[in-house]
Chain A
Amino acid sequence: MAVLRPVTRAVPLGQLAYEQLRDALLRGELQRGRRLVAGELAERFGMSRTPVRDALQRMALSGVIEPEGSGFVPAWPTRRDVRELFELRVLLEGQAAAEAARQDADARGRLVAALDDILHRDEVTAAQRGDAFHVELGGLAGGSSLSQAVRLLNDRILTVRRDLSWPDAGRGHRDVRDAIEAGDSDRAAAAMRAHLLAGVHAYVAEVAP
């Protein structure tokens, strides 16, 4: 039966729970102040509590959620947090975009194909596309400190990302993608920085002072 997947998983359950939780936060399904309890989330994700607890621990460590009582609540960045986060995103993601553009043609081709796949997903929200785009680009150096840092910075704005993708975000993503395809590292870095600097205003206007 081709529809059945093998029982042994390529992705550990804890990782799966983490991704599901991340997605729920991105889709805005876990509202501000909403208590996150392992038992309830386990039921929702259709898995046992242990991997969900692991995922909650990991998220708390990276500051995406914070402990409250015996559970957790989504952490909500302030304006100051957003400004600080974007200051670093401009620095590090600009560098990541430049490095992506410096790769050889084959590697660039694979990355551009992956980015196109993300940009053309229409069953997801703009926030999910934006997050996937930035994490994919930051993760190209697989497991490097830079990719971990990019992931961490993007995690911190998960709760406010939602549909806050500003009108020009799509164009910004395409500009970065085009510069990478052309192998122009200066242009890729500049396009990424311009895109993020445009974004910081949209975020700052949205979050509490």
Chain B
Amino acid sequence: VTRVILADQAYRELRAAMVEHRLVPGAPLQELELAAALGVSRTPIREALARLHLEGFVVREGETGALSVAQLTRAAVEDVFRLRITLEGHAARLAAERISLEELDRLDALVVADREALRRGDSERLGSINLDFHDTILRASRNRMMGDLLLRLRRQLAGFTAFAVGEMNDQSLFVAEHAEMARLLRDGEVESVGALAERHLEAARNVLLRDMQTTAEDRPPTDDEEWDDHQTRSRPAAHPRGSAGRRQRP
């Protein structure tokens, strides 16, 4: 049990260090060095690194097997989103055939909450509603493996970087698209909802890429935002840019 806890703690600490750029992209990761720094043996470090590698936070050099912190590049964002668009589009199509009445009501309630949060300019709330909304559709696809794959992809992006920093008009669009998706799912419009889910994700990717471009020069590499399927946290005070409605990502 202790071994599992140590590995888990090592995983959390290393992941946090990468997200906060205490370990910068490209930095070499050596078991012995990390074990000494974290005050544990090599075994939990090895397990933590294996997990981080699987999640895409850590990359392995082909020839030598040496590990290092993954870089977030435009190519990586495009690569991850290409698969996310395929999967979430498919999930929406399956959901249109399989979704329950309770889930449809849940989506409607989330759309109401979405509008309320948008009106108040509450980005954090928008972020958590967004995850809830997409997870509900994912569950409604009745394919657990799909959820598994998408979770890996989301983590991959989350680990790499500062995130889609949508402006107010991006957020209004995302909220309007959520409402439209909820309606199409209720009407069982398989093709339309699939196509809309794909466009929705494309828009998110474009916001993310635009943000990478505009912040490459003016933002210090210390962003510590993180999201996974349960939380969104941020540190607005440390952010050099304006703070109207932001940090929303479908």
Which A residues are within 8 Å of any B CB, using their own CB? 10, 12, 14-15, 53-54, 57-58, 61-63, 81, 84-85, 87-88, 91-92, 95, 144-146, 149, 152-153, 156
Contacts and interface: CB of A to CB of B under 8 A. Distances in A.
Interface in B142-184: 143-146, 148-149, 153, 156
Interface of A is mostly: helix
B65 A84 contact: no
Contacts of A156: 145
A62 B50 CA distance: 11
Contacts of A153: 145
B79 A144 contact: yes
A189 B138 CA distance: 25
A149 B149 CA distance: 7
Given A84-B145, A146-B82, A153-B145, A54 B156 contact: no
A182 B19 CA distance: 45
B8 interface: no
B15 interface: no
14 contacts: A10-B63, A12-B60, A53-B46, A61-B50, A62-B54, A84-B144, A88-B87, A88-B145, A88-B149, A92-B83, A95-B86, A144-B83, A146-B79, A156-B145
Contacts of B94: 87
> Interface size class for chain B?
20 to 34
Interface of B: 46-47, 50-51, 54, 60, 63-65, 79-80, 82-83, 86-87, 90, 94, 143-146, 148-149, 153, 156
B146 A84 contact: yes
Contacts of B64: 12
A169 to B, nearest CB: 22
B83 A145 contact: yes
Contacts of B143: 84, 87-88
A10 B94 CA distance: 43
A85 B145 contact: yes
B149 A152 contact: yes
Contacts of B60: 12
A10 B65 CA distance: 9
Nearest to A152: B149
Contacts of A85: 145
A203 to B, nearest CB: 14
Contacts of A87: 94, 143, 146
Contacts of A61: 50-51, 54
A88 B82 contact: no
B153 A145 contact: yes
A101 B160 CA distance: 31
